[in-house]
């Protein structure tokens, strides 16, 4: 049985805690590997190694740090298929989806290649007589990433690319459900010329996370995962004086107005709800359909569902894979049962007809979902699309704004004025206009509002550079000795 350990100081390190977790093959339901769970001491060792590597990496010039990122860009590009295969094996997502994940992650490494430009400060000559003022950005030290199961390659890339390029050293705690992509990435970073100790991977569970949260040498934590854990990470990390960005869960609504192209909206809803088996934080999970078009829209979604090819990634052509674990599959199935019990209407029941092996569910479609039903109020994180019928644009907007989450949303309409008003009014961090999954490109930043993000900096892009650096402002004077005199007044320039 394959055993996954840790990556510390540029090499594989076997775990010694005696604790481990199971890595399933979601497509078959069979255990394929075990992963070592790090002890407090093992995480402490990784942090000490990263701390020791920091001074030299921080002092490495910007061109050289950019060069490592350029090489990493080439290596990830050359190994797209290998990374995607790891994602399919452990997460279960189909190959096309896995390749898409790698491509979106790679964008962040490309962005970090521009670090000499991104870290430029400002300069004001002659802020006062003979006085210049300038700002510089400096790395924080040892920073940590804690990542979820659903994007095992992309989310680490959101974090480490900018963090390392800024001159920090990094400790990654990937999801214990699918850590192999992170281990492979560590090898690629070494091959790209990153000095040993700058990037470390500790595998594990709450013990590893709590060690990171409480360790005095961790300066900042970048977290992506579910809302309860995000809140815990934010509260504990900030209480311990750390900088924290903690991205949480979602319930993304898509508003379909009567003037929308209904075929386009149905294609978008099906793709965004069932892609990656709904295990995306930007998946569409509720469609708000105006009464006048709801029946027609639902019929179009219903027509498309039988065409979705569900099965293992190993069989080419499949479009939707299994869920991550049997436990999660059963939880999602529980929401489908609960929806009916709460009075919603099950239009397509995804508990029927799934492949016998593995953790599969078929796509589900539920009509007449309302706030107050568990299927509506909770993040399901599975291939379940709800439809909520609304009487007006205002009612739809209100439902979105009342929702506890504010990660992503989309509006489908041909009316530019309404779309612009929606963008103005909606309390959500990422908005799509006729775009169902509006994940920002890497030179913008990714982040939700409300219970989808704890902290004030979004992930990657310009916010990522801000998050992984702190600024210093220098006021400098090179006086002419002939003009020097004692002056006890407060310095001023007027
Ligand atoms: P999760 O919260 O269960 O786990 C995330 C990380 O936290 C993992 O590394 C895990 O080991 C650790 N963790 C879990 N329980 C912990 C505990 N009690 N104490 C300390 N650490 C703990 O999330 P998941 O199931 O891996 O991922 C799915 C969730 O992530 C969904 O809610 C999804 O919406 C969210 N997500 C959000 C975004 C975003 O950008 N907002 C992106 C991807 C996923």
Is any atom of ligand 1 closer than 6 Å to the C-beta of 173?
yes
At residue 77, the pLDDT reads 98
Nearest C-alpha neighbor of 393 from the set 376, 413, 378 = 413
State the DSSP code for 307: G
Let me know whether 239 and 280 are in one domain. no
How far apart, in whole angstroms, are the C-alpha atoms of residue 25 and residue 14?
A: 22
- In which residue ranges of the chain is pLDDT below 50? none
Annotated active-site residue 198? The verdict is no
- Cα of 193 vs centre of ligand 1, distance in Å, is 31
Let me know whether 242 and 286 are in one domain. no
- Atom 13 of ligand 1: nearest residue by CA position: 206
Cα 106 from chain centre: 14
Is any atom of ligand 1 closer than 6 Å to the C-beta of 203?
no
221 lies in some domain: yes
Q: Is the pTM of this model over 0.95?
A: yes
How far apart, in whole angstroms, are the C-alpha atoms of residue 118 and residue 87?
A: 31
Let me know whether 281 and 132 are in one domain. no
At residue 494, the pLDDT reads 67
Is any atom of ligand 1 closer than 6 Å to the C-beta of 176?
yes
What SS3 class is residue 16? coil
- The b/e string for 411-427 (b: 16+ C-beta within 10 A; e otherwise) is bbbeeeebbeebeeebe
488 lies in some domain: no
Of 101, 213, 229, 384, best ligand 1 pocket probe by most atoms within 8 Å of the beta carbon:
229
276 lies in some domain: yes
How far CA 320 is from CA of 218, 271, 276, 282, 360, in Å, comes to 39, 10, 6, 16, 9
State the DSSP code for 6: E
Let me know whether 117 and 218 are in one domain. yes
How far apart, in whole angstroms, are the C-alpha atoms of residue 233 and residue 479?
A: 49
Would strands 252-256 and 408-412 be described as parallel, antiparallel, or unpaired? parallel
Let me know whether 239 and 332 are in one domain. no
What SS3 class is residue 493? coil
pLDDT in tens, 469-491: 999 999 999 978 887 889 898 88
Is any atom of ligand 1 closer than 6 Å to the C-beta of 448?
yes
Let me know whether 418 and 468 are in one domain. no
- Which of these is catalytic: 113, 166, 198, 281? 281
DSSP characters for 151-202? -TTHHHHHHHHHHHHTT-EEEEE--TTS-HHHHHHHHHHHHTTPPTTSEEE-
487 lies in some domain: no
- Atom 16 of ligand 1: nearest residue by CA position: 206
How far apart, in whole angstroms, are the C-alpha atoms of residue 56 and residue 131?
A: 32
Let me know whether 157 and 305 are in one domain. no
Q: Which atom of ligand 1 is nearest to the CA of 233?
A: 20
Is any atom of ligand 1 closer than 6 Å to the C-beta of 415?
no
Let me know whether 241 and 294 are in one domain. no
Of 173, 214, 225, 235, best ligand 1 pocket probe by most atoms within 8 Å of the beta carbon:
225
- Cα of 432 vs centre of ligand 1, distance in Å, is 24
Would strands 243-247 and 218-224 be described as parallel, antiparallel, or unpaired? parallel
491 lies in some domain: no
How far apart, in whole angstroms, are the C-alpha atoms of residue 137 and residue 163?
A: 13
What are 246's strand-pairing partners? Answer: 223, 454
Range of the domain at 231: 2-248+452-474
At residue 225, the pLDDT reads 98
At residue 164, the pLDDT reads 99
Nearest C-alpha neighbor of 172 from the set 195, 149, 198, 200 = 200
Let me know whether 338 and 391 are in one domain. yes
- Atom 20 of ligand 1: nearest residue by CA position: 206
Cβ atoms of 284 and 252 closer than 8 Å: yes
DSSP characters for 399-458? HHHHSSEESEEEEE-S-HHHHHHHHHH---SEEEES-SS-PPPTTS-B--EETTEESS--
At residue 439, the pLDDT reads 98
- Cα of 36 vs centre of ligand 1, distance in Å, is 19
**What average pLDDT does the structure give for the chain?**
97
Cβ atoms of 36 and 4 closer than 8 Å: yes
Question: Quick one: what percent of the chain has pLDDT higher than 70?
Answer: 100
Nearest C-alpha neighbor of 251 from the set 126, 402, 475 = 402
Q: Give the number of other CB atoms < 10 A from CB of residue 400.
A: 23
At residue 480, the pLDDT reads 82
494 lies in some domain: no
CATH number for the domain that contains residue 55: 3.40.605.10
Number of domains, the chain = 2
Let me know whether 240 and 108 are in one domain. yes
How far apart, in whole angstroms, are the C-alpha atoms of residue 329 and residue 309?
A: 18
Let me know whether 286 and 335 are in one domain. yes
CATH number for the domain that contains residue 411: 3.40.309.10
84 lies in some domain: yes
486 lies in some domain: no
Let me know whether 231 and 264 are in one domain. no
């Amino acid at each position: 049985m394959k055993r996954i350990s840790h990556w510390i100081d540029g090499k594989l390190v076997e775990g010694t805690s005696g604790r481990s977790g199971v890595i399933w093959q979601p497509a078959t339901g069979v255990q394929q590997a075990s992963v070592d769970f790090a002890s407090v001491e093992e995480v402490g060792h990784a942090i000490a190694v990263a701390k020791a590597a920091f001074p030299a990496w921080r002092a490495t010039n910007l061109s050289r740090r950019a060069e490592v990122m350029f090489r990493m860009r080439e290596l990830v590009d050359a190994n797209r298929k290998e990374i995607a295969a790891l994602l399919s094996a452990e997460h279960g997502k189909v190959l096309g989806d896995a390749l898409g994940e790698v491509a979106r992650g790679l964008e962040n490494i490309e962005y970090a290649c521009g670090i000499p430009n991104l870290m430029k400060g400002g300069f004001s000559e002659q802020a006062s007589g003979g006085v210049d003022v300038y700002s510089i950005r400096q790395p924080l030290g040892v920073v940590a990433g804690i990542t979820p199961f659903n994007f095992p390659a992309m989310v680490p890339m959101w974090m480490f690319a900018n963090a390392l390029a800024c001159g920090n050293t990094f400790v990654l705690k990937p999801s214990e459900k699918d850590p192999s992509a992170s281990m492979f990435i560590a090898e690629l970073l070494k091959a790209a010329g990153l000095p040993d100790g700058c990037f470390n991977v500790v595998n594990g569970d709450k013990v590893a996370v709590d060690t990171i949260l409480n360790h005095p040498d961790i300066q900042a934590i970048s977290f992506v995962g579910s809302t309860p854990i995000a809140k815990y990470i934010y509260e504990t990390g900030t209480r311990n004086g750390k900088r924290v960005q903690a991205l949480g869960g979602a319930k993304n609504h898509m508003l379909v107005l009567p003037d929308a192209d209904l075929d386009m909206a149905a294609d978008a809803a099906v793709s965004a709800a069932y892609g990656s088996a709904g295990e995306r934080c930007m998946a569409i999970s509720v469609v708000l359909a105006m009464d006048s078009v709801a029946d027609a829209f639902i019929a179009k979604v219903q027509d498309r569902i039988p065409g979705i090819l569900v099965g293992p990634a190993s069989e080419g052509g499949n479009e939707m894979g299994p869920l991550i674990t049997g436990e999660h599959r059963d939880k999602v199935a529980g929401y489908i049962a609960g929806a009916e019990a709460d009075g919603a209407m099950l239009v397509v029941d995804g508990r029927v007809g799934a492949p016998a092996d593995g953790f599969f569910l078929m796509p589900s479609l539920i009509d007449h979902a309302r706030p107050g039903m568990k299927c509506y109020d909770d993040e399901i994180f599975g291939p379940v699309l709800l439809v909520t019928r609304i009487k007006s644009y205002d009612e739809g907007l209100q439902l979105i704004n009342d929702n506890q989450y504010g990660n992503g949303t989309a509006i489908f309409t041909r009316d530019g004025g309404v779309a612009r008003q929606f963008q103005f009014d909606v309390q959500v961090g990422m908005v799509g206009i006729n775009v169902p999954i509006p994940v920002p490109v890497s030179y913008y930043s990714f982040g939700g509002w409300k219970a989808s993000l704890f902290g004030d900096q979004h992930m990657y892009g310009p916010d990522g550079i801000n998050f992984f650096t702190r600024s210093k402002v220098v006021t400098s004077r090179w006086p002419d000795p002939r003009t020097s005199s004692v002056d006890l007044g407060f310095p001023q320039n007027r």
